[in-house]
Amino acid sequence: MGSGQNIPIAGISLAGVTFVALLSLGTDVVIALAVLTVWVGSLLVAAGRPPEPPKAKIKQRLSLDSIRDLIEDTSTPLIITERNTIAIANRAARRVLGPHIIGQDARVGLRQPEAISLLGGKSHGEAIVRGLVRRGDIWQINRQMIDDRLAMLEFINQTAEADISRAHTDFVANASHELRTPLAAILGYVETLQEGEGKLDTPTAQKFLGIIEREAQRLHALVSDLMSLSRVEAEKHDLPTERIDLASLVERAARDAAGPNRIERLTLDIADEPVVLGDLQQLEQVVRNLVDNALKYGAPDTPVAVTLDLAQGDLARIAVEDQGEGIAPEQIPHLTRRFYRTDPGRSRASGGTGLGLAIVKHIVERHRGRLDITSEVGKGTRVVVRIPLAEPDPQAVSPPPDADSEAPNQPETEQLS
């Protein structure tokens, strides 16, 4: 029986009494039992009722209060419009567009032709809007209809992606230009030598060959720096783990960068012997690049000072200072950009690739360090690299096994970290 069926207790009881009465009057048992069966069966059939049909689900309209609670804390800027009037803007949207937009017509609040065209439709859609918040920013606006009166606008900031794409395009263009310049010189002088058919005098030929060699070396340096930069960027999320004695590294790399022709201009001041976790080749490249730049762009016959000491007790500090012409303050923030040069002609003449400081910056970032550049026009430039010290080596500070047990333990001088 269905759960909704009522059992007729009174009727069944009456049928039972009638069955007993028939038996007492001498009625045949089969007849009495048949009467009882028919009676009870008819009662049960009459009492049964068909199951109630399922109730139709009525779709309730979303309330603005429930939507507001749902989207308020999301990190993506979201706006709910009611017939193109901004009814709700979550916290992220208010931070981007301002709290005053609530209650405005969305077409007036956004003020962009692409956004207005999107709002004019009756269905889902998307639009790319430039300069929505600040000049040059790029936003993608997605519109989703909730019902016939409400719609949701989702704002996705694509400025960073566009900047990365533009930086990649600029890098390829600059690299192509830098590679093409020495190649054009090499090809031009080679063609001149070939066309001379041995008629060029020896001094002229030697001059052309010297230019070809210089441009080929410049091309080789450029390719090497591009490969170095690519490697550093590929490994920038991998923390170095090798323990390195920075004092010997700085002295060796600085002398290598100076070479025998410029070593007399180099002054070294190794005040401490810090140990850091790093990549040996990359840290040597940092020192070589900084010293080479200082020797190139410092005033001729003036010293370049290289100092290694501790900063704030837990940082190794490498400082390279020249006595050159200095750099204008407005140019300093751009020095670590790829191919940026304060004096392009002088840089190319000295063999610079425009990638040295960009490589230094990425290596320092990989080592979780800091790069600072200060300069004063007419006096010189100072570049400082700070790298965190390594934790003390447990094996270096543990007492020897045969130490005198009666003598008090003398703590070893630990390297600050």
Q: How far apart are CA 386 and CA 368, in angstroms?
A: 9
Residues 6+ apart with CB under 8 A from 383: 290, 293, 294, 319, 320, 321, 371, 372, 373
Residue 236: half-sphere exposure toward Cβ, Cα within 13 Å: 14
**Residue 52 DSSP SS3:** coil
Residues 6+ apart with CB under 8 A from 305: 267, 269, 319, 320, 321
> Which is it for the CA torsion 213, 215, 219, 221, positive or negative?
positive
Strand partners, 278: 242
Per the annotation, the verdict on 177 as an active-site residue is yes
Whole-angstrom CA distances from 178 to 184, 187, 292, 347 are 10, 15, 20, 12
Identify the H or E element spanning 380. Answer: strand 380-388
Of the candidates 124, 177, 220, 334, the residue annotated as catalytic is 177
Q: What is the DSSP letter of 58?
A: P
Residues 6+ apart with CB under 8 A from 254: 266, 268, 287, 288, 291, 306
List the catalytic residues.
177
